[in-house]
Chains A and B, each alone.
Chain A
């Protein structure tokens, strides 16, 4: 069984990721088991997908709008965002929007070009699960979360930017550092 990183641990993963069907051919939906479906399939087959056995997740491609699924959050056990290339950072904004604007609280999984050197930033934007690219060493990847011990900006783990935390941390509301 495949493994993923979730909450900074390597765990076995049972989810099956469905790719978009080739043009013209019908999508095949496995009768059972946990599936992550592309947005287009969710739009076409929402009734079938909602009534089947097994948990349901949806994945957004890098150009797809988080608003497209924001009204359906109660149907999903997982949302994934696809990174199409090493240098394509659109998914970072997608993640922040899902977390901060639309209030997705469940698992947010990065898929696609997910490599060690992106994990720290991905976590900062709200991802808590990572399906590493095949060639990545999961043990080595875990160390990425410790690359930096703090950040200037707000993040999923630190909802306030550093400049506000600095002031909160001092007893009289003044600078402490």
Chain B
């Protein structure tokens, strides 16, 4: 964890006081609804379909046991006993009272947390790889750079009222687990020829109404220049981004309208003035921030003496869970464990107060009291000893947190949808549940193999449907809730946007469509190694389309092929 110093803490406390004043003025009628709105939004407070919703920042997804217990306390005291982890590594409370929010923020401040800039047209919580600091393919520890950016973006006066929201992701490893290609700015750490740390800078990516893969505008930005270069990008955007049309206001539209090359030149021209100025980073500051992070005190462990291998051979259910939910660690004898928040029947990403307390206990006993939130809406214990895995698994299973489905079809990324969100066109949680029920056979699920299924209740794409191998988008069809299905999307290094399969379908038909897609995939894959998305890439979407929308001739051909393969 990054530990606040006196100034970090003071700024968060002062924000609580500021928001208390704004709330008081609003309730006293001294601040209009229209003007309170942008002010409360930049404190994460939405007015939702049934009640306000408060989005709390979990900077770069890192969370301590103490903070998680505070969430549990808030959920019990001010909400209905649960919280929802979002795809941007934040936590959302769905039922707080508006007049209680200043008190909730004051509670959060006691554990170095806040809701600063979790919404509104400003720089949002910076996100990163949930394996930062422990990944074997690490280039830099991105957590340090995320904290540098947290400070730079917090209450940045010049960029407080941008044309639209602004999301930055940092990836510190070779593999991209932070989705840098679909952010307003993506920073991918690289090392220069002499080993110097720098960043490849991507700009103008994003999902939402106009999904676009980001453009590289600089192959190598030396770390010292990180903040001045971001200042230059943000300044060009702040001054020239469109403000006349909400749906054309993201930076991706500016980059597209000007062309990436022209945009890059404008940024470079602006940067020429800012480069080497006061915001140029110094190595002492990076070292200072590094020192303020607590680090696990790893032991020298002999992984073979742990009894772990024996447990794997003896206990098949354990082995299945390890295969899906346990991730390699850069330190010998340790592993990262994903606690799945995707148990069938529970809304994806939801955690009860009771579970929060229990997870906090688990993290203290098994993982140095720290957790990560992944953008796939799961929790990760990043530093578990191999020798503890079996015992930990049994406890996690008792808590309903050991569904062995990470990377599989039922690990569905899903926004709150029409059950909560006032923007949604359609519900998403019941669709996720229906699909999970359809694919509840674990052997079958493991046989299908790696598959990302993402659901968004509207174009805003909070459920990242464009980059799901299968993406489901809720649409409004003359007042009825329908679902448009796309396939072939992908996150990571080879990020791609899915292609729409065909006409949207009713809610009840969605599981059937998914099943048909899977049937065809199983019939056409050349081996178990060929994933669903690989088959889509190889044979294109046409065969899937025909299989789903009824071309009997094609269907029987596939069937005989399936029989022949069996």
Contact = CB atoms under 8 A, between A and B. Distances in A.
Contact of A163 (B154, B155, B285): B285
Interface residues of B, number: 39
B14 A153 contact: no
B39 A117 contact: yes
Nearest to A143: B21
**Per DSSP, are chain A's interface residues mostly helix, strand or loop, or mixed?**
loop
A125 B157 CA distance: 6
Contacts of B5: 177
Residue of B10, B11, B22 with most chain A CB atoms under a 10 A cut-off: B11
Nearest to A115: B35
**Per DSSP, are chain B's interface residues mostly helix, strand or loop, or mixed?**
helix
B284 A167 contact: yes
Nearest to A125: B157
B262 interface: no
B38 interface: yes
Interface stretch (A11-19, A27-35, A86-94): A86-94
Residue of B6, B38, B273, B278 with most chain A CB atoms under a 10 A cut-off: B278
A150 B6 CA distance: 11
B160 A89 contact: yes
A92 B151 contact: no
B156 A153 contact: yes
Nearest to B161: A89
Contacts of A121: 155, 157-158, 160
Contact of A154 (B18, B162, B243, B279): B279
Interface in B142-158: 151-152, 154-158
A124 interface: yes
Contacts of B156: 152-153
A96 interface: yes
What band does the interface of chain A fall in when counting residues whose beta carbon is under 8 Å from B? 35 or more
Contact of B158 (A88, A96, A149): A96
A103 interface: no
Given A89-B162, A125-B158, A159-B278, A152 B14 contact: no
Given A87-B38, A164-B282, A148 B14 contact: yes
Interface string B257-289: 000000000000000010000110110110010
Nearest to B120: A87
Contacts of A42: none
B279 A161 contact: yes
5 closest cross-chain pairs (CB), A and B = A89-B161, A124-B157, A121-B157, A163-B285, A152-B151
Interface of B: 5-7, 10-11, 14-15, 17-18, 22, 34-35, 38-39, 121, 151-152, 154-162, 227, 235, 238-239, 243, 273, 278-279, 281-282, 284-285, 288
12 contacts: A86-B34, A89-B238, A92-B158, A117-B22, A125-B158, A151-B155, A152-B156, A153-B152, A153-B279, A163-B281, A163-B282, A174-B284
